[in-house]
């Protein structure tokens, strides 16, 4: 798809500095720009590339002050990072051309599929399922009995959505995701064995949720596991039964949440975080990478870090002490020897 600077500026409500007829057909990083590509500058550490890039068009913030001559056509926007996201969305919409149902795929005669939805080869849509309008269901997807999928949702290859689960509108579910597998529920028996507890609930993904590749979201034992609207879940994450993740919360890769924990709205959970079950995390909480959360975080807006996780300020103090332990140990040994010498004892 080829776009001119004029068309892009109109779409992004930006201002052109340079040639309005400059055209691009690809997007690139600013340090790798070449003729026919569009780049963006949002991070000041990459400013040096603005003056050397071969890209045809560069998006910059309105407030950015140019220090040297720039060969590329500039488009000034309010926020270059957000604008490139909008541009990528436009580009993605134009480049996807598949429509209808590919063969072989199977849609139950008791399922409903909305107008404009694409269904790829080897996909199965079970009876009672309802798929909304203008969805993209890629090959080898399984949509179970009585599942609902909202309008404009994208489900990439290999996704499995078990029976009775609900997916909202404008969601994106990446390859390998499993939604609605059984929660980890087993009752210990007197003979040392475990009896499986039936998992009778479901999973509810509200609107505008994105789930990364190979993430699993377990169904509730009873009721629902919730991913609230606007939440963004990264790759390789485990979300256990009856967890409730709040609106617009983001969660980075390789993290896990144990059963029945409730995460507030607008939280940030960094990579490799572990959160035990039956906790409550307040709104706007940030949890640092590799933290282990073992108790409630009650204060909205708090940042916690460490394993076990503490308030970030307390955790920093503890870290300083940990680093001093070898020196403190050496000093303690010397003091013990000095005491022994003063007592007339032979140091050990």
Those residues whose C-beta lies under 8 Å from the C-beta of residue 257, and which sit 6 or more positions away, are 238, 239, 240, 243, 245, 263, 275
Better-scored residue on pLDDT, 92 or 141:
141
Examine residue 347 and state whether it is found in any structural domain, yes or no: no
CATH number for position 261: 2.160.10.10
> Which of 75, 95, 115 is where one domain is finished?
95
pLDDT, position 86: 87
Examine residue 66 and state whether it is found in any structural domain, yes or no: yes
pLDDT, position 258: 97
CATH number for position 45: 3.40.1390.10
> Which of 53, 71, 95 is where one domain is finished?
95
With 70 as the cut, is the pLDDT of residue 235 above it? yes
Parent domain of 79: 3-95
Task: Cite the active site residues.
Answer: 241
Are 175 and 272 in the same domain?
A: yes
Total number of domains in the chain: 2
Are 82 and 186 in the same domain?
A: no
Are 170 and 263 in the same domain?
A: yes
pLDDT, position 147: 98
Give CA–CA dist 44/10, Å, rounded: 25
Are 70 and 210 in the same domain?
A: no
Are 196 and 281 in the same domain?
A: yes
Examine residue 149 and state whether it is found in any structural domain, yes or no: no
The candidate with the shortest Cα–Cα distance to 171, out of 154, 192, 147, 183, is 154
Are 164 and 297 in the same domain?
A: yes
How confident is the model over 125-132, as a mean pLDDT? 97
> Which of 63, 95, 127 is where one domain is finished?
95
Cα dihedral sign for 20, 21, 22, 26?
Answer: positive
The pTM assigned to this predicted structure is: 0.81
Are 89 and 181 in the same domain?
A: no
């Amino acid at each position: 798809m080829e776009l001119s600077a004029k068309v892009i500026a109109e779409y992004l409500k930006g201002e052109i500095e340079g040639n309005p007829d400059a055209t691009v057909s690809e997007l690139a990083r600013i340090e790798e720009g070449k003729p026919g590509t569009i780049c963006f500058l949002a991070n000041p550490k990459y400013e040096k590339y603005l003056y050397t890039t071969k890209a045809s068009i560069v998006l910059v913030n309105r407030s950015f002050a140019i220090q040297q001559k720039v060969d590329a056509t500039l488009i000034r926007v309010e926020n270059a990072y957000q604008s490139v996201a909008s541009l990528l969305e436009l580009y993605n919409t134009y480049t996807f051309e598949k429509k209808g149902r590919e063969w072989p795929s199977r849609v139950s005669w008791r399922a409903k599929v909305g107008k404009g939805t694409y269904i790829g080869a080897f996909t199965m849509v079970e009876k009672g399922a309802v798929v909304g309008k203008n969805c993209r269901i890629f090959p080898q997807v399984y949509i179970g009995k009585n599942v609902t999928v909202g309008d404009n949702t994208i489900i990439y290859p290999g996704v499995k959505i078990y029976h009775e689960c609900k997916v909202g509108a404008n969601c994106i579910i990446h390859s390998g995701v499993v939604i609605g597998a059984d929660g980890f529920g087993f009752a210990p028996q007197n003979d040392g064995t475990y009896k499986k507890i039936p998992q009778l609930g479901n999973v509810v993904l509200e609107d505008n949720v994105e789930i990364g590749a190979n993430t699993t979201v377990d169904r509730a034992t009873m009721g629902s596991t919730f991913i609230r609207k606007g939440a963004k879940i990264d790759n390789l994450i485990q979300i256990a039964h009856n967890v409730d993740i709040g609106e617009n919360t983001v969660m980075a890769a390789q993290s896990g949440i144990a059963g029945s924990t409730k995460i507030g709205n607008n939280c940030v959970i960094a990579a490799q975080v572990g959160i035990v079950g039956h906790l409550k995390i307040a709104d706007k909480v940030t949890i640092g990478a590799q933290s282990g959360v073992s108790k409630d975080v009650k204060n909205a807006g708090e940042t916690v870090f460490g394993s076990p996780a503490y308030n970030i300020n307390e955790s920093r103090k503890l870290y300083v002490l940990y680093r001093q332990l070898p020196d403190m140990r050496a000093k303690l040994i010397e003091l013990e020897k000095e005491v022994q010498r003063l007592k007339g004892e032979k140091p050990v």
